[in-house]
Amino acid sequence: MTRAAIAGAVGRMGQTLIHVIDEHESIVVGAATDEKGSDAIGGNAYLLAGIPVGDVTITETFADVADEFDVMIDFTSPDATAAHVQQCVEFGKPMVIGTTGMNDDQIQKIAEAAKFIPIMFAPNMSIGVNAMLGALELVAKTLGDDFDIEITEAHHRHKVDAPSGTALKIGEVIADALGRDLDKCAVYAREGITGEREKNSIGFQSIRAGDIVGDHTAMFATDGERLEITHKASSRRAFANGAVRAALWVQEQPAGLYDMQDVLGLR
């Protein structure tokens, strides 16, 4: 039986992960943390998630419970994730990371850590989104440079980074398929007199409203026709299900940096 450590166990994703794991036959919650100073410290992670059976005490750090888990799942914040990565290297534990908004330095440190432990790092662990990424590569190669490309994403009012990590991944997949450098062709905002659209640009638009879990659309438009590919998540369970699948998979892998395409056997 695999024992998972849940970072940020009191957060929205942490609570969802505990529910999904509780329903799974091959994995249990072995450890759980919440941010320093949280009122949840010392509480029962299962009870706080509304599950009457289960007993895992929430701690501020994984340092004292390293023997209680086999793999860590982290959907917290960039700074917290960076600290957890170093702990997992120290403990020799594999890791699943779904945190978005990481800067280049933090991403590089994850890559460095992956030389010592297996890490599955993906901005979106939904199986549907990852199937979408595979389809987008084929669509982009088929349509070529004759179509304008725009990416829109919508999330709840509490999301702090934009564009979403998934939107950026969509842009990277399309840019790579077309032989473009996303850093050079991405357009993240339009306001005022912008002039005509640059032919090979890839545009991004972000919406933050209400309790939207996550909507992503890639639009390919040219004279006379338009193709849109959309994924809509109606529940965080879509991400939690993928994360649990990734956790069971990554603990069997050698040290290295992986993503959901690897987990799903799509490459």
Identified catalytic residue from 19, 24, 109, 159: 159
Could you tell me where the DSSP H helices lie in 155-219? 165-178, 182-185
**Cβ neighbour number for residue 144 with a 10 Å cutoff:** 10
DSSP state of 171: H
What distance in Å separates the CA atoms of residue 142 and residue 75, rounded to the nearest whole number?
35
Is the dihedral angle over the CA atoms 61, 65, 66, 69 positive or is it negative? negative
Indicate the angle between helix axes 127-143 and 237-250, nearest 10 degrees.
Answer: 90
Catalytic residue among 93, 155, 169, 231: 155
To the query of whether residue 159 is one of the catalytic residues in this protein, the response is yes
Distance, CA of 42 to chain centre: 28
Mind telling me the catalytic residues? 155, 159
